[in-house]
Structure 1
Amino acid sequence: MKHEIAIVTDSAASLPQELVEKYGVTVVPIQIQFEDDAYRDGIDITREEFYRKLDGHVMPSTSQPAPSDFINVYERLLARFKTIISIHITSEGSGTCQVANIAKARFPGADIEVFDSKSASMGIGFLVVEAAEAVLSGKTKEEILRLLTELRPRIVSYAVIDSIRHLLKSGRVRAGQALIASLLSVKPLISIRQGVVEVVDRVRTRRAALDRLIELTLAAAGDNPKSRLAVVHGNVLDEANKLRDRLRPLVGCEEIVVTDIGPALAIHGGPGIIGVVCLPG
């Protein structure tokens, strides 16, 4: 007997393994490229190895999973499930949704829905969790897609970038801007909303940047116990845990997830990036 709905995402969602296992989510690895060497995230390269390489001279890049990865996943799941909802990193700058749709076309008549999260890291992750919980509560595919469409524009992400170097290498800022920021020791604070990255503040010290990050988080999450909150980081787990501990008495949500920010954002922000993702209640 087939179950009703399977949930698929990609590794850019940065879902902690305990949530992947709790909800039975299938994760398709994105590709990480260091010059001529390609790695499947979490399979051919660990996050620890990724950050070691990221500190080197070679600027890596990420790319969408191979079509065969999606085809294999969909084929396996369609043997057990009637419907697949496949939730992925924003199509702004990533071809993952496009590749998922190419794979979907290999299964004419199959009930596969590809959903663009217009987000990254736990912005995708929270939509995946919401979809998985909706499946468990007996919601239909149409109800789940309406829910995701409603929640998607509400996701807010903020991050503090420790060094402008990786932003410069990635081409996200002009060389003149990066040089000035570096000379002034400015810590850019960025927002990521609906797939658009914007600088929302520039702070002189990391401590002040983290204080500002908390202010923005409180404005977004408030004291609503239904809000979802995650602290995401680029290989600075101790600092992420301290930020979580500072937030706990200030916000109303029951749990604050702490997880790696994921290669898609770490490549641009560099090691030391730390941020908060909020889905307001």
Structure 2
Amino acid sequence: MNVTILTDSASDLTETYYKAFDIKMIALTVHLHGKDFKDGIEISPKNVYEAMREGSNTKTSQVTPEAFRSMFIHYAKANEPLVYLAFSSELSGTYQTAKMIEQEIKEDYPNAPIHILDTKCASIGYGLVVVRAAKLARDGASVNEILDMATYHAEHMEHIFTVDDLEYLYRGGRVSKTAAFVGSLLKIKPLLHVDDGKLIPLEKIRGSKRVLNRMIEVMESRGTDFENQVIGISHGDDLERAEQLATIIEEKFSPKEIIIEMVGSVIGAHSGPGTLALFFLNKPYK
């Protein structure tokens, strides 16, 4: 019996991936214009970025307990193995909610083959972990084989990103109001990364042109085995810069593949339009 892989919408995967690899998705919620929308189902990232550019405030919320309960009960009753690879617990309460519902379900179905892993990843970095797991599941791998591989990829997935406007990070509590104001005046672009699931400032760069080169330098110093890797790039409605970054990476590192996707509605609601993110492994691919 093949293992089913479950992700949430913060992996920023599109319907193409869900269909190609039989991945199940459960949605976080975007709050916009006084309404609630299921991320990746009822609203597109483009909608969110256009609203943000017009000055609208956006908020997000985690996957509901009811959504997890419905999903988990189905697999518990059928006694079919389910592996949920979750959005970083440092960025959302979704993982904690899933664990709470798992415990609840296992009171009635103690042997339910439901397994949950906190990837500590986000956006396409998270998505790359999910797709790798789904490929293994498709090929008949066991739950333990999938969890071992997913743990390895999640632990070694680098997230290097920048944002176009510090104001959005200020609204999300990531930088102070003064830093956002001064940064905007001086055209300072922050370079950030993810460390143990948390967003951590890495350095400040003056001028957007220098950001791409610095991202490549960080990639070269931290990464390895690029020719065997699928490199991920995600962007906040700025395909041109994403493609520029991809071209540089292709010429310099010749990776196995580069995938480019838009930063999804939930993450984009906090990072804002113009975000550019790069994802790669810092250990050999396996």
Whole-Å separation in 2 of the counterparts to 1:257 and 1:193: 22
Whole-Å separation in 2 of the counterparts to 1:80 and 1:244: 43
Secondary structure of 2:228's partner? coil
Shift of 1:244: 1.1
Partner of 1:106: 105
**Selected match of 2:44 from 43, 46, 63:** 46
Shift of 1:80: 6.2
**RMSD of aligned residue pairs (Cα, Å):** 2.0
Partner of 1:191: 193
Whole-Å separation in 1 of the counterparts to 2:194 and 2:225: 22
Partner of 2:55: 57
**Correspondences of 1:119-138 after superposition (within 5 Å):** 119-138=121-140
- Greater mean alpha carbon deviation, residues 137-146 or residues 84-93: 137-146
Identity of aligned residues (%): 26
Shift of 1:153: 1.8
- Greater mean alpha carbon deviation, residues 260-269 or residues 69-78: 69-78
Q: Provide TM-score, normalisation by structure 2.
A: 0.90
Shift of 1:232: 0.6
Do the aligned partners of 1:152 and 1:194 also contact (CA within 8 Å) in 2?
no
**Selected match of 1:216 from 218, 226, 229:** 218
Do the aligned partners of 2:5 and 2:85 also contact (CA within 8 Å) in 1?
yes
Do the aligned partners of 2:189 and 2:205 also contact (CA within 8 Å) in 1?
yes
Partner of 2:3: 5
Whole-Å separation in 2 of the counterparts to 1:227 and 1:13: 18
Measured against aligned partners, the alpha-carbon deviations of 1:157-179 in whole angstroms (never above 9, x if no partner) come to 11121111111222211112222
Q: 1:79 to 1:279 in 2, by over 3 A?
A: farther
Partner of 2:204: 202
Partner of 2:69: 71
Partner of 2:28: 30
Uncovered stretches (5+) of structure 2, i.e. residues with no partner? none
Do the aligned partners of 1:223 and 1:251 also contact (CA within 8 Å) in 2?
no
Do the aligned partners of 1:222 and 1:251 also contact (CA within 8 Å) in 2?
no
Uncovered stretches (5+) of structure 1, i.e. residues with no partner? none
Secondary structure of 1:39's partner? strand
Q: 1:79 to 1:254 in 2, by over 3 A?
A: farther
Do the aligned partners of 2:81 and 2:113 also contact (CA within 8 Å) in 1?
yes
The amino acid that maps onto 1:85 is: V
Which of the pair is proportionally richer in helix? 2
